[in-house]
Amino acid sequence: MATTTLTGHAAVEARYNDVDPVYAETRDMRLLGFVLVLFSDCILFSSFIFAYLYLRTSAPVWPPFVDGHQLPRLDTAFAAVNSVVLFGSGVTMHFALENWKNLKKGAFNMWMILTIVLGIAFLGGQAHEYLSAQMTWQGSAFGASFFTLTGMHGFHVFVGVVYLTVLLVQANRGVYTGSKYFGLTAGTLYWHFVDVIWVLLFYLFYLW
């Protein structure tokens, strides 16, 4: 009853807490579990990133020489645009969740679709990067590191796009309510995580 008179964060918080104790407890446990999943994914990326750092710092010159020619540096301008596309999708995903919390389903759908479109656009940009890259996976340590790390990240983005599409369908089928929307929270956290991993990869491969 109190939720009808509250506005903004207070109304959202009141709705969030307006669930049975069993659901509230399992929601907290699921959230902790999901954060641990993201943390384990961090470890996975860290191991590959440290391998890249080792290869890079132990090489006399970077990018390395292949067949007597030094590999060119990667195209920063296009990567910057593609990076902002992905960061923009994080912003739209955040808008989607906020609109769901405020019971604005139409706006939620619009922001979710925009997030998915931006995610697909990023993958298209990555495909363009791969096709125009002047190195191969097996040709050098630079190529192996670049394709392995960005490929692994691209796979995460692809999984995220599928995940968000499933969440959009579920939300429109009534799986989530104004007080029970853990799936959407997890989806948002996952998408932000994918964005943040790209911040690091963007710096390491394109700017450093």
Instruction: Name the one range near another protein by CB under 8 A: 30-38, 54-62, 143-151, 167-175.
Output: 30-38
Alpha-carbon distance values, 31 to 90, 122, 187, 188 (Å):
19, 27, 11, 12
| List 64, 88, 178, 183, residue binding another protein (CB under 8 A) | 88
d(CA 4, CA 167): 27
Q: Does 203 bind another protein (CB under 8 A)?
A: yes
Q: How many residues bind another protein (CB under 8 A)?
A: 39
- Least separation in angstroms between residue 60's CB and another protein is 19
Closer by beta carbon to another protein, 131 or else 173? 131
Q: Does 31 bind another protein (CB under 8 A)?
A: yes
Q: Collect all residues with Cβ–Cβ distance below 8 Å to 36 and sequence separation of at least 6.
A: none
Closer by beta carbon to another protein, 85 or else 164? 85
The first and second tokens of residue 19, run together, are 């669930």
Q: Does 206 bind another protein (CB under 8 A)?
A: yes
d(CA 108, CA 6): 21
| List 6, 44, 81, 162, residue binding another protein (CB under 8 A) | 81
How, if at all, do strands 69-70 and 65-66 pair? Answer: antiparallel
Binding mask 172-201 for another protein (x = CB under 8 A): -------------x--xx--xx-xx-xx--
Contact in structure between 94 and 178 (CB atoms under 8 Å): no
SS3 content of the chain, % helix, strand, coil (to 5): 80, 0, 20
Q: Does 80 bind another protein (CB under 8 A)?
A: yes
Q: Does 79 bind another protein (CB under 8 A)?
A: yes
Q: Does 91 bind another protein (CB under 8 A)?
A: yes
d(CA 89, CA 84): 8
Reference 146, options 62, 58, 90, 81; nearest CA is 62
| Residues found near another protein in the complex (CB under 8 A) | 9, 13, 28, 31-32, 35, 38, 73-81, 83-85, 87-88, 90-91, 94-95, 98, 185, 188-189, 192-193, 195-196, 198-199, 202-203, 206-207
